[in-house]
A and B are shown apart, each in its own frame.
Chain A
Amino acid sequence: MSDRKEKRSKSEGGIPPGNLGQFPNENNRSIPDIAANVPLMESARDGQRGTEKYHEKSEMAAGKGWGVAYYKQDYPERDLDDDVNPNDTLVQDVSSTAVLTPLDDDLVGEVKELEDRGNWTGRFDFLMSLLGYSVGLGNCYPVEKLTQGNGAVLVCCGPGNNGGDGLVCARHLKLFGYNPTLFYPKKPNKPLFDNLTKQCQGMELPFLSEFPTDVEVIQRSYSLVVDALFGFSFQPPVRPLFAGVIDTLKKVETPICSVDVPSGWNVEEGDPNGLQPQLLISLTAPKRCAKLFKGRFHYLGGRFVPRALEQKYDLQLPPYPGTDCVVELNTGNS
């Protein structure tokens, strides 16, 4: 969709390279083209992932011959210092056939991270990080303690990738014993979202045909609201449909759980008049606006950043406990 193309290039231009959400990188490195040598899969060209740009297939994957055991070099340093024309560095997910949540618009804090992700981890990590969201939610609001409608959760999905995240999250929540209901008014016309929707339907999740405008109705019917409307790359203005949804959500007393960025917030500066979720689950690394998060629970999910990258970009990420896919961050707000 052309909207998304524009949105993304705006955010690329608008965000100084080297900003790490919460942890600014002083060097302001230009955006590296890490994935230039990464081979591309055939099926990746079929346009399933919308606005990504692809590189030519390299010979890297062409068979490791038999011989002496080898150890892969450290993650290549050489590419990261090159000055590259930003227009050439649109590295998206190069690694999967996947119909998972692409999150290409929801640049996680910055373009470089997207490229890192696109290069070596692909969509799988988003799947896991969405599992993380659901697990985090499950930790904070155990289903047996929810009072309304037998663990009923209202999952609000926006028109982009954050919305796709919501769909995956809802599916996991259903498996965990909750009863999610989806509000998904603007599904992009792409196989990815068609499939995610179908997966939710296969899990018997109902889809609301319109958003309840009555605050009381929401409060009575649902124990939680998952806010998967807009993510990192959100640029105002909000279209009227979603503006109305956000307005209503601002008034409900039901706890709101936001996926990566509270919807409508400016990713750097937040929005004091915007949604105030009780739970925020940041993907990969917290965004700058998370500093202004005033809710009770802040989790980090998306446990896949290799240590080399963490060090390279000076991401001060806490260790994940054991085999967990989420880690709780201290908000100082409870």
Chain B
Amino acid sequence: MLERCIGERRLRQIQRGVQNMKLTFLCLLLTLLVLRGTIGAGKYGTPQQDFIELRQRFISHPHRALAEQNQPEPKPKKSDKDDEPPLRSLNDPYSLGPKISDWDSQRADWIHRHPERPNFLTKTKPRVLLVTGSSPKPCENPVGDHYLLKSIKNKIDYCRVHNIEIFYNMALLDAEMAGFWAKLPLIRALLLAHPEVEFLWWMDSDAMFTDMAFELPWERYAPYNLVMHGWDEMVYKDKNWIGLNTGSFLLRNCQWSLDLLDAWAPMGPKGPVRTEAGKILTKTLKDRPVFEADDQSAMVYLLVTQKEKWANKVYLESAYYLHGYWGILVDRYEEMIENYHPGLGDHRWPLVTHFVGCKPCGKFGDYPVERCLKQMDRAFNFGDNQILQMYGFTHKSLASRRVRRVRNETSNPLEVKDELGLLHPDFKAVQHHAS
């Protein structure tokens, strides 16, 4: 019928035209693709970005640039499926445990009955329990356990010098609060089981002490119950999700803290609760990527939305690195050794170097594996040198495991004092009273 209307030659012409158009269109498409791939078309994105987006959409992979995930999510295996708790619904409120309202008086009674375990070691120095931990299963990454071992040795050293007790946790107390939230039920259990502890110091397993001589300014914290590294403006004004860091913080053992834990916990339970809470957090907090609720963002949210209730007992410390992001510190160690000395705790000689995002125990961190591991070695040696100097040794270099002697043996060892005075420092001295 078409032939009849237009005529065969015409038809053939049109067909040819259409085929040419098809070819032209195809070539144009190809050209565009190539250009997009090579030059990059700005807001229309490149294929690389497309791919990453696709990958991210199909595999939920929270990209925490400056926050941390300390425990790997337990992967559901056949044997685990039976004892996986049913996911909590949004209407079912979570509780860390039976409500306690008189903890301060319970605790005071106990301390009174047990003078052999006082909550203050000297007039100003409280009894502190450093809490850290890792998974009871071997790391996926074959060197992960080695770095966990070095990290705990590092903490043992600092705590021995500063008379602090350590609790290394390897137990998941509440399967609902797995992952970064696991610290909440643990902290509550420890506070209640150790009334003699005045301050509980949570520290991530990927944080290392790099200033062995720095003693925390305990008197400064007398009026406060929660001390975290952060900045007031970033939290209360900007509502920035990295305005504070929950990788290293102090919590006083008191009723206020139990109430805080109860107010902090609701966003934690795995499943729809955590996912929905994550959306609220991303909406409210500045720069927060999209992923499920984490304890750090939830803390910022809590402080921002209930400021009148909590803020007066919270101290955001920025005078020294109670938490020090490793990215800006590790390349400067040689410079620090050159120009400064231990005991400062701040940008000149950081108290803590925290390897946020490295995840040496898992397979995928946010940074290249090599950089993370090499820098962790350097940070470890940087801190270890301050311990070895007590005994007259030092590492051959910040990258080397080997040590060399820097002080000769003598037949009068007690007349020699170590340079940093860490063998018998004031902050380790026992209160001189009848024991």
A and B: bona fide binding partners: no
Residues of A within 8 A of B (CB): none
